[in-house]
Amino acid sequence: MGLREEDIIKIIEKNSKIKIIDIINNMKNNNIKDVDIARFIYKLIEDNKIKYTNYPRNFLSYFFSIRNSWVLISLLIISVSMISSIFIPDKYILVKGILVSPILFFYPGYGVVESIYPNKNDWGELERVAIYIAISLAIIPLIGLILNLLPQGLTVLSVSLSLYIFSLSMLILSSYRKFNYYLMKVL
């Protein structure tokens, strides 16, 4: 006996909050592998025949979930970049340059692009990286111009802190946009 769509739908109708592993355990058969059952279930999900709603229902639970680990890793990287720009002495310019480059050349544009386009399928990876860098290179002079008009002027601390705050706010915004995008897709 092979996999049948009706059998899976009957199991789901009995318990609408069933986990995928429980469906697999209910469908186990000597001839069918667990992987094949899981693939069949995911195919039904893709065909919109069943709904998979194991998704965080509020932004805070999404923010600290594994689905949002890209933001948490990015926050760690920009924090290290900011701290490096302030505390590493100028005599270690090569190390400082390597550690500070993500917050200069990548994350400002990354946050902006991910906020505007939360769906990863819009472009290929190479195009996205090129746009991240190009937008970062456009944002840095604007932040510098604004800082130059302020009383404290352009200092390492003001530039680092401004880039950190900008990147942090854009990453949080992009995370919120992705949460809303995927929530609408799931519901």
Tens digits of residue pLDDT in 5-44: 777 777 777 776 677 777 777 777 656 777 777 777 777 7
**22 in Cβ contact with 16 (< 8 Å):** no
Residues written for the chain: 187
Q: Residue 81 burial by CB count (10 A; 0-12/13-18/19+): exposed, middle or buried?
A: buried
Highest mean pLDDT among 35-39, 63-67, 127-131: 127-131
- The pLDDT value given to residue 36: 77
Sign of the torsion angle spanned by Cα atoms 168, 170, 172, 175? negative
Mean pLDDT of the chain: 83
Q: Could you read off the pLDDT of 152-179 as tens digits, one per residue?
A: 888 888 988 999 999 999 999 999 988 8
State the pLDDT at residue 187: 42
Query: Rounded to 5 degrees, what are φ and ψ at 111?
Result: -65, -40
What percent of the chain is predicted at pLDDT more than 70? 88
Q: For residues 18 and 12, is the Cβ–Cβ distance under 8 A?
A: yes
Using the CB atoms, write b or e for 106-139: b if 16+ within 10 Å. bbbbbbbbbbebbeeeeeeeeebeebbbebbeeb
In this prediction, residues 61-75 reach a mean pLDDT of: 87
Instruction: Extract the tokens encoding 86.
Output: 């302030």
What average pLDDT does the segment 56-66 reach?
82
On whether the pTM is more than 0.75, the answer is no
| pLDDT(3) > 80 | no
Residue 171's pLDDT is 94
Q: What is the largest CA-CA distance in the chain?
A: 77
pLDDT of residue 184: 60
Task: Give residue 122's pLDDT band: very low, low, confident or very high (50, 70, 90).
Answer: low
